[in-house]
Structure 1
Amino acid sequence: MITLHGYGPGGGLPETSLPAMKSEVLLQIAGVAYRKAELGLAGSPVLEVAGQRLGGDALVRAFLEQVHGVDFEEGLGGRERAQAWTIERMAEDHLRPAAESGEVERETLVLAVRSLAALAELLGDSPFLFGRRPCAADAAAFPVLARLMSPAGAPILRRRAESFGALVAYVDRLMARYYPNFPWLIEAPAAA
Structure 2
Amino acid sequence: MKLYYTPGFCSLSPHIVLHELGGQFDVERVDVETKTTETGADFRAINPKGYVPALRLGDGEVLTEGAAIVQYLADSNGARRLAPEPGTLARARLQEQLNFIASELHKAFAPLFRGATGEAKDAAVATVGQRLDHMEKQFADGRAYLLGDHFSVADAYLFVVASWTGPTGIGFAQWPRLAAFVERVRERPSVKAAMAAEGLA
Give the TM-score taking structure 1 as reference length: 0.71
* 2:163–2:182 CA contact under 8 A, matched in 1: yes
Instruction: For residue 26 of structure 1, report the CA deviation from its aligned partner.
Output: 2.6
Aligned to 1:169: 180
Q: How does 1:80-99 map to 2 (within 5 A)?
A: 80-99=90-109
Q: Does 2:130 align with 1:131?
A: no
Give the superposition deviation at 1:164. Answer: 0.9
Question: How far apart, CA to CA, are the structure 2 residues paired with 1:106 and 1:79?
Answer: 37
List runs of 5+ in structure 1 lacking aligned partners.
8-14, 186-192
- Write the distance in 2 (CA, Å) between the matches of 1:70 and 1:63: 10
Report the CA distance between 1:36 and its aligned residue.
Answer: 2.4
- 1:179 matched to which residue of 2? 191
CA deviation vs aligned residue, 1:105-139 (integer Å, no higher than 9, x gap): 55544443232122112123332122221112212
Distance 1:171 1:56, change over 3 A: same
The whole-number CA distance in structure 2 between the counterparts of 1:162 and 1:85 is: 28
| Residues 92/179 of structure 1: CA separation in 2 closer, same or farther (3 Å cut) | same
2:27 pairs with 1:27? no
The corresponding residue for 1:50 is 58
Residues 1:60 and 2:69 aligned together = yes
Structure 2 CA distance for aligned equivalents of residues 49 and 164 of structure 1: 38
Deviations 1:167-189 (A, max 9, x none): 1121122122133265989xxxx
Q: Structure 2 counterpart of 1:60, which letter? A: I
Aligned length, in residue pairs: 170
Q: What TM-score results when the alignment is normalised by the length of structure 2?
A: 0.68
Query: Structure 1 residues 74, 29: CA separation in 2 closer, same or farther (over 3 Å shift)?
Result: farther
Percent sequence identity over matched residues? 16
RMSD of aligned C-alpha atoms? 3.1
Question: Which of structures 1 and 2 has the larger relative contact order (alpha carbons within 8 angstroms, sep 6+)?
Answer: 2
Correspondences of 1:136-147 after superposition (within 5 Å): 136-147=153-164
2:57 alignment partner AA: V
CA contact (8 A) 1:29 1:134 kept: no
